[in-house]
Structure 1
């Protein structure tokens, strides 16, 4: 089956970026002139997705506004004959079909995904977390979709992580099929380095069979008293094979301050308007 639907959870509080995220969703933090969430949606579209469900929460209204029409701004740009900017603004509001479902209270990633159950309607679907930007000619989500279409089973994106950072990831134990693909044997949520089954962590991209929804419903609250997606994945593993795919591409965890700054620098060095001045500035720093 084709994967045409994607769930993008954006209900998190963004506490790592306080006080900025007190009144601004972390997903709307800009990378030069586009917010993080714009890049995530672009990846979904480039992967063949045409139907996106945002799982939102309080104080996330600006995400809806961003992807909505903006008549006043469009009128202003039209009057100024700024056709290039006008087209860009209009394109944002017509990128893809978008729906919004509010997660009434922050009960974890698993619970956020479960709120989209009726809309998913027993179809396989993708999940993209709203604070990961992954750069590659072939989108990360498309890589997972291709593996799903080959094997017909849920596939999660993974990468090697520093051992001291295992406490920030769901860490897998897997049986290697080749250099980039594993059959999932176990996944542990945020283990201490000494308890981690490997240094291979799940990142914010998944493709699921619809049975994951039933597994989420059966999942009891876990770490942080939240419905952890990793616990639901463990339940699904008992019913059917799950694959872990070591994706190709450069990932930026923009929910991390250092990674966010790295993303800005790297994107600025590729931007025609900013690249030369940023290169000069870096040279002048004489680091």
Structure 2
């Protein structure tokens, strides 16, 4: 049976999501924990909605795993818990403190955590008054020394939205498209913090941090509001765009269609994205 896991993690001490020999990763910890509670050897493999880089956090991560029905139903043991609740409780007992599984539930076989996703939402936190930063937030907030004009950043960010070519903000992979639909990109001020919200159907590698790096110079007054859109139109990496530090980034939410639309959404997501007229 297929099980959906909703989970969160502090990415500070991880080498990203993907399992890598000799390195501590979120996938490695979660896979090992599942193998332990299900008594499965080898442990079942996970498919995740977003493969975050080293240092990136998540509050709304989603993955799916296929498990044996007998092993799943055995999770409650002698307790009165349902298997879903038993899975969450038992995972809490074996996972490290920087990973938390909030919910586990059986889903339709057509559910695919990666390809069924409609949207992925990230946030990015910047403090432009470092002396005022709460030291307890140093792991999830990036500091800059210049005051930021959040209104200018917001205007520049919104100009990048739509079905576009994002090659200027992505690390290219052979045979992979860099066309994406950026549904929302906005900035707001919260006291001495500026917080960005980025929502898309999917993202290229390092795309969100590059998008942030494109508008920070605008906020600092070093680039005009029109500059990020000009970089986007050139469709090539610009040395003026800094890929911002990972620890300011957090995966906030992944959304999915209703069960009857899961398979169709997965087929669409697997198709190569193209711009109109191509």
**TM-score normalized by the length of structure 1:** 0.25
**TM-score normalized by the length of structure 2:** 0.25
* Structure richer in helix, relative to its length: 1
